[in-house]
Amino acid sequence: MENLKLQGIIRGLFFSIISLYFLSVSLLVIAPTFNIFSFLNLEKIAWLYYAGILLFLIGIFFLLEKYKNTKNIFRDLFLIFLPSVIVFFYGFYASDYLNLKVNYQVFKIFATLYVFSGLFFLFYVARGYEKIADLLREIFSFPKFFLPVFKKEWLTVCAVILLMAINLFFSVYNLGKFAAVDEPLWTSTDGRILKFWNNVSDGELWKTMVSDKPGITVAIISGAGLQFENPKDYEKNPIVEDKNETSNLNFALRFPLIMFNLILLPVLYFLLRRLFDKRLALMVLAMIALSPILIGISRIVNPDGLLWILTTISLLSFLVYLRDKSYQFLYWAGIFLGLSILTKYVANLLYIFFLLLIFVEYVINREKYEKIGIYSYFKKHILDYLFLVLFSLFTFYLFLPAAWVDITRIFESTIFSKAFLSVWPVFVGIIIFVMADLFVFKFKIFRNILNFLVKIKNKIFFIIILFFLLMIIATLANTYLGMKFFDLEAIIASPKTSSAFNGYFGMMLANFYSLIFGVIPLSLIAIIYISCVNLINLIKKPHNKDYQDSYFYLVLFILIYYFASTFSDVSATVRYQVIIFPLALILAGIGISHFLQIKNVKKYLPWVVPFIFLVVFCVLSLIAIKPFYFSYASDLLPKQYVLNLKDMGDGSYEAAQYLNNLPNAKNLNVWTDKRGVCVFFIGNCSSGIGSEKSFDYFVVSAGRESRTSRMTLSRYYGGNKSIVRLDKLYDFQKADFYLKIGGRPNNFVKVIKADKFWQSESEN
């Protein structure tokens, strides 16, 4: 007994000395910020710190046998380094000098990592782990649920591989032969990808926050292509003979993004299978993997190309956790949420939605939780929610070097991001209120509210589903009546300014317009069908309840996203709502699965037949729109309308190739409203409004008509009568080259010879 007490005293003394040692060295590290200590050599001080760590590790090695679990090690490490870290944070945030010195980054990384280590220690204790291996085993136990599929269901594996192969075939077709809007922000010599990796290689980690998106996943994944092609080799050069070489750079930077999404498709399938069943999962995977819109956006170096699959995996993982109470899915939901936020700040909406789902789950399925009671339910789930937040923030921290040296970067992309700017005080206030009610008042306040909601839940669900269905019907009616009530095309053409003229209802219809005509007709029919079925079930009796819950959660997220977009005065164009498309296709899959379960249908129609039909239908849709996948519009949309007026540069390459084949192309002067044309055109090219050049040809597109006309007319009626009336080019009928994208006459790219245009103007 005395020996144990003596060993404890020796261990405590050893740790105290080590803690004081690190505190002293930390004070020396920040000392040069004061003039009186400017003579100190930081490199020698750093070696003192490293030597101390070595001594500490040796001491731990001899004392390790006294620890029965890693929890005690975490605790002692946290206490030993606490004084040192406090000093570091004071120095870093009190001195600009420290923030500008590369040599201090090691200490910054240590300090920020310490914060997360402390948070993980609290998590570790709360979950009751004894060894770190237990946590890692739980996180990476993902395969044990799905490996049996590979062993027993080889036909399913073949189906998944087939869908991946078809996806890859269409994705890489002419991959380098188009110039996407906004892509140069990422791929040029001063673009974000090259800037990110240059900052990493130079050790200037604080500069790696290259965008407010923040788009870090894009920079990391697409950056793999820099091993094969370098944007610096493609700098603008008027002597370049063959601009088609640019396609090599495009391919190198786009292909890694395609492969990343391709690799995640099986993960998506496994989650769908876990949540539903094999047949439904395959149906949904077919619609997602072969969606023209999703393939189109995945071919572009842009955050939206990754966002759709990352947010979908995070959401599905959380739904599996809610149903099965499996912690590994909670952790993966957090990890993929962190990756989603690293991609684009709009993913912060999932923080709000996941918290809301905890309450909605209780209201829907209170009978499942009667044994444990409302207090225990919310205590457990709120704590689990905090774990999810921790995993998401740590994932964000892990892949953003700027956060290693400045932990405030995490907040800039979460609660202080643009997506949270107006709502974060309310959200934080709700969190505090929930926590106070939970731990102080034992959930007495929310108990009464939730009990009331449970009583009227069927009415609430009925209203929400009815609203969802009516919005679809209203959008279809408005479209087929010739946009009589709301010009949805005009709203989408100016998504950030049209709210002033169309109101919230028109904006909401525009959101649905982009969605319902962006999926294949069969998917839309299935969505309408399952919505009607669920409305009838709410009136009569529950049917297929698990699927009904998942259906409602997905509809709820879609509506919340649309309301958030509408009240932000932004219309959700196809690109802005790309994360909604996979969820809508899951709804369609639920609808198809439900229909195939009808007794007479099931008897005469084996599920493999509609699956093959679905795949063929999707492939035909891809063939019809190839290679302009992102400009896809359902056959249900009347031919005179265009769905994606904000295209990503479709037709630029084809127009440039036409011009390049003209005689004396290198000496031609061309004006275009699509900058992508200039990337591939070998002559002189301009896209500036009001240029005084004498042009030989004009290149115009439907997607830029609104912008070009607005800017031209503002100058013209502002007194500059000498400018070229570029707005008249869009109605000019005698084009030398006319490309109808998707077979739609109003979705065009035209090449117009200037002489013809001047002659027409003089005649008028």
pLDDT of residue 182: 81
Cβ-count burial of 278 within 10 angstroms (0-12 exposed, 13-18 middle, 19+ buried)? middle
The answer on pLDDT for 419 being more than 50 is yes
The answer on pLDDT for 424 being more than 90 is no
In this prediction, residue 167 has a pLDDT band, given cuts at 50, 70 and 90, of very high
Q: Look at phi and psi of residue 442 and say left if phi exceeds 0, alpha if psi is from -120 to 50, else beta.
A: left
In this prediction, residue 388 has a pLDDT band, given cuts at 50, 70 and 90, of very high
pLDDT of residue 488: 86
pLDDT of residue 82: 84
- Angstrom CA distances, 500 to 405, 464, 713, stand at 43, 26, 20
Backbone angles phi, psi at 443, to 5 degrees: 65, 30
Q: What percent of the chain has pLDDT over 70?
A: 84
Residue type, 352: I
Model confidence over 515-565: pLDDT tens digits?
999 999 999 999 999 999 988 888 876 544 657 889 999 999 999 999 888
Model confidence over 290-329: pLDDT tens digits?
999 999 999 999 999 999 999 999 999 999 999 988 888 9
CA distance 716 to 305: 38
The tokens describing 315, both together, are: 């959401």
Domain boundaries, the chain: 2-137, 140-273, 315-452, 456-643, 652-763
Average pLDDT over residues 1-11: 62
To the nearest 10 degrees (0 to 180), the angle between helices 373-399 and 105-127 is: 160
Among 202-216, 245-259, 335-349, the range scoring the smallest mean pLDDT is 202-216
- Four-residue CA torsion sign, 335, 336, 339, 340: negative
Which of 11-20, 57-66, 124-133, 313-322 is modeled with the greatest confidence? 313-322
pLDDT of residue 726: 80
In eight-state DSSP terms, residue 742 is G
In this prediction, residue 237 has a pLDDT band, given cuts at 50, 70 and 90, of very low
pLDDT of residue 240: 41
pLDDT of residue 590: 94
Average pLDDT over residues 51-71: 61
Query: Which of 393 and 236 is assigned the larger pLDDT?
Result: 393
Average pLDDT over residues 465-475: 94
Among 25-39, 286-300, 467-481, the range scoring the smallest mean pLDDT is 25-39
Give the pairing of strands 669-672 and 697-701: parallel
The answer on pLDDT for 241 being more than 50 is no
In this prediction, residue 238 has a pLDDT band, given cuts at 50, 70 and 90, of very low
The answer on pLDDT for 250 being more than 80 is yes
The answer on pLDDT for 498 being more than 90 is no
Q: What is the largest CA-CA distance in the chain?
A: 110
pLDDT of residue 239: 37
Cis ω for the linkage preceding 148 (within 30 of 0): no
Query: Which of 173 and 764 is assigned the larger pLDDT?
Result: 173
The answer on pLDDT for 483 being more than 90 is no
- Angstrom CA distances, 631 to 36, 168, 478, 495, stand at 65, 19, 21, 17
Average pLDDT over the chain reads: 83
pLDDT of residue 331: 92
- Angstrom CA distances, 136 to 129, 130, 132, 331, stand at 10, 12, 6, 11
Query: Do residues 250 and 228 touch, judged by C-beta distance below 8 A?
Result: no
Average pLDDT over residues 200-209: 85
The answer on pLDDT for 605 being more than 90 is no
The answer on pLDDT for 734 being more than 70 is yes
